[in-house]
Amino acid sequence: MSSHTVPTVEASEPTAYRMLIGGEWVEAADGRTLEVITPIDRHRVIATTPRAGAEDVDRAVAAARRAQRGWAALPFTERQGALLRIADDLEDAAEDLAALTALDTGNALRTQARPEALLLASAFRYFAGLAGELKGVTLPSGTDALSLTRRVPVGVVAGILPWNSPLMIAAFKLPAALVSGNAMILKAAEDAPTTILELARVCERHLPPGVLGVLTGYGPEVGQALVEHRGVDKVSFTGSTATGSGVAAAAGERLAHVSLELGGKSPCIVFPDSDTDEVVEQVLLATRFARQGQSCTSGSRLFLHESVHDSFLDRLVDRVSQLVVGDPREEATDIGCIINQRQWDRVQGYVDDALATDGIRVAYDGRPALTVGEPGFYHAPMILSQVDNGWRIAREEIFGPVLSVIPWREEDEVVAMANDSHYGLAAFVFARDLGMALRTAQRVESGWVQVNQGGGQQVGQSYGGMKASGQGREFSLEGMLEGFTQIQQINVRLT
């Protein structure tokens, strides 16, 4: 990014971005644009991007189709080399990308934005290392026959991204798709597109034109057009469950491949032997308060055993009250801004609804102590206790810094409550007794269960949800093979 000036909130002129199609940085075919504001200041337009439509999708798909065959035909070492060079450049650009993430998404630099930018570089390095694993097998069919399989790319893949952690979600999709010989067209979220455009600027230096495209604009316009386009072989979607369900229906209609990473309402279960400050730290990570709760894997339902309920909650409240809500660009800030007014109102709506519920207790309300506010979309963390697992705040994804605390007594009871959700993305189990912990971990219906830790995402782990939280896995060797390749069987008669 050295050749490009990263916009600052103080900049008077918004950065006028173009999107990437066929190796060219272009406007929308009809010239329309949309404005991007920063969550730090609702009045400040930091960028304009093209507002792409169906014609732009046609152009991007045609360019991707032209490029994909040649890309797939390269020896794997060449794709590997390209990914390694991208990883090097991303590492160099990490601090700039982190600063832009803070401005673009409102995610705090130290707790979120910087780790997201660094994860991106290591994901490219990791998947470069897997380039030689795209192997087929041979059947022992005797000397008169050769029976072999090849792992071939799916083709042109659309990667549809949300706004909450754009670089991290791109890291789940892009390097795996590229190394396995696909072309990818990313659709950046309209609320936070700038880091994805900067990522593309780094990647295009090392990729043949058309292998990566980036489109910007609104979901129902450019997103829908991508999903419906017959030249898109697969849609890899991350976003809300409601949108994902429509995407799956549209892709299914034309029998395109699809994978979905959707919402969550993840349980976080604390056993009686885990009433310690160390566990409080891990539970705090699990809440994803440091990302304003805007995380699909947020452990937003905290199940505390009744024997340690009050003591653990006191510790947690004490710790949460020390968190600094502030300008996401400041190193001292723990919690930045919610993405926009609509999400802020939505979070507040859940809070108002919860506070009007009989029997609820407010264990912590950070709002009176908040020192920041307008023009940024700041929301203090809240901990609500004595919540019933059937209440709306315990069933629906709030996507804000709001934690529901639910007491429990018996192991079977807490497992049943944890699983009484249409979601199944993540779960957290805290118990020193490892038998108990692992038994519980295996009984929870979630795609990703963490034991005695709250934030241990690793490059190379399988990532994805059960139930309405999604279909398919990403970020791992298996995710790459299953999600971005297909098997071709070849049988040869040798006589």
Q: Does 196 bind ligand NAD (CB under 6 A)?
A: no
Q: Does 280 bind ligand NAD (CB under 6 A)?
A: no
What residues contact residue 65 under an 8 Å CB cut-off, 6+ apart? Answer: 155, 156, 183, 231
Binds ligand NAD by CB under 6 A, chosen from 190, 198, 233, 327: 190
Q: Does 40 bind ligand NAD (CB under 6 A)?
A: no
- Select the span of 35-43, 57-65, 258-266, 313-321 touching ligand NAD (CB under 6 A): 258-266
362-401 residues in contact with ligand NAD (CB under 6 A) are 397, 399
Check if the beta carbon of residue 210 is closer than 8 Å to that of residue 236.
no
Binds ligand NAD by CB under 6 A, chosen from 107, 180, 224, 389: 224
Q: Does 334 bind ligand NAD (CB under 6 A)?
A: no
- Select the span of 235-243, 317-325, 385-393, 429-437 touching ligand NAD (CB under 6 A): 235-243
Q: How far is the CB of 165 from ligand NAD (least distance, A)?
A: 6
**Count of residues near ligand NAD by CB under 6 A:** 30
Q: How far is the CB of 36 from ligand NAD (least distance, A)?
A: 13
**With respect to ligand NAD, which residue has the nearer C-beta, 48 or 240?**
240
**With respect to ligand NAD, which residue has the nearer C-beta, 312 or 350?**
350
Q: Does 252 bind ligand NAD (CB under 6 A)?
A: no
Draw the binding track, 83-122, toward ligand NAD (x: CB under 6 A; -: no contact): ----------------------------------------
Structure tokens, 276: 């310690």
Q: How far is the CB of 300 from ligand NAD (least distance, A)?
A: 10
Three-state helix/strand/coil letters over the chain: CCCCCCCCCCCCCCEECCEEECCEEECCCCCCEEEEEECCEEEEEEEEEECCCHHHHHHHHHHHHHHHHHHHHCCHHHHHHHHHHHHHHHHHHHHHHHHHHHHHHCCCHHHHHHHHHHHHHHHHHHHHHCHHHCCCCEECCCCCEEEEEEEEECCEEEEECCCCCHHHHHHHHHHHHHHCCCEEEEECCCCCCHHHHHHHHHHHCCCCCCCEEEECCCHHHHHHHHHHCCCCCEEEEECCHHHHHHHHHHHHHCCCEEEEECCCCCEEEECHHHCCHHHHHHHHHHHCHHHCCCCCCCCCEEEEECCCHHHHHHHHHHHHCCCCECCCCCCCCCECCCCCHHHHHHHHHHHHHHHCCCCCEEEEECHHHCCCCCCCCCCCCEEEECCCCCCHHHHCCCCCCEEEEEEECCHHHHHHHHHCCCEECEEEEECCCHHHHHHHHHHCCCCEEEECCCCCCCCECCECCEECCEECCECEHHHHHHHHEEEEEEEEECC
**With respect to ligand NAD, which residue has the nearer C-beta, 243 or 385?**
243
Q: Does 261 bind ligand NAD (CB under 6 A)?
A: yes
57-76 residues in contact with ligand NAD (CB under 6 A) are none
Q: Does 193 bind ligand NAD (CB under 6 A)?
A: no
Binds ligand NAD by CB under 6 A, chosen from 114, 151, 173, 187: 187
Q: Does 336 bind ligand NAD (CB under 6 A)?
A: no
Binds ligand NAD by CB under 6 A, chosen from 171, 189, 212, 323: 189
441-470 residues in contact with ligand NAD (CB under 6 A) are 465, 470
User: Nearest-CB residue to ligand NAD?
Assistant: 219
290-309 residues in contact with ligand NAD (CB under 6 A) are 296
Q: How far is the CB of 277 from ligand NAD (least distance, A)?
A: 29
Binds ligand NAD by CB under 6 A, chosen from 163, 377, 428, 484: 163
Q: Does 214 bind ligand NAD (CB under 6 A)?
A: no
Q: How far is the CB of 289 from ligand NAD (least distance, A)?
A: 16
| Among 210, 216, 84, residue whose Cα is nearest residue 156 | 210
Binds ligand NAD by CB under 6 A, chosen from 33, 49, 105, 243: 243
Q: Does 180 bind ligand NAD (CB under 6 A)?
A: no
Q: How far is the CB of 388 from ligand NAD (least distance, A)?
A: 23
Alpha-carbon Rg of the chain, whole angstroms?
Answer: 23
What residues contact residue 460 under an 8 Å CB cut-off, 6+ apart? Answer: 126, 475, 476, 477
Residue with tokens 């609509």: 342
Q: Which residues pair with 50 in a beta bridge?
A: 33
**With respect to ligand NAD, which residue has the nearer C-beta, 79 or 257?**
257
**With respect to ligand NAD, which residue has the nearer C-beta, 376 or 447?**
447
Binds ligand NAD by CB under 6 A, chosen from 7, 155, 162, 336: 162
Q: Does 220 bind ligand NAD (CB under 6 A)?
A: yes
Q: Distance between CA atoms of 183 and 66, rounded to whole angstroms? A: 9
Q: Distance between CA atoms of 135 and 112, rounded to whole angstroms? A: 36
Binds ligand NAD by CB under 6 A, chosen from 19, 87, 119, 169: 169
By annotation, the residues acting in catalysis are 261
**With respect to ligand NAD, which residue has the nearer C-beta, 153 or 223?**
223
| Among 77, 56, 237, 225, residue whose Cα is nearest residue 157 | 237
Check if the beta carbon of residue 162 is closer than 8 Å to that of residue 191.
no
Name the site residues for ligand NAD (rule: CB under 6 A).
160-164, 169, 187, 189-190, 219-220, 223-224, 227, 238-240, 243, 246-247, 261-264, 296, 397, 399, 425, 465, 470
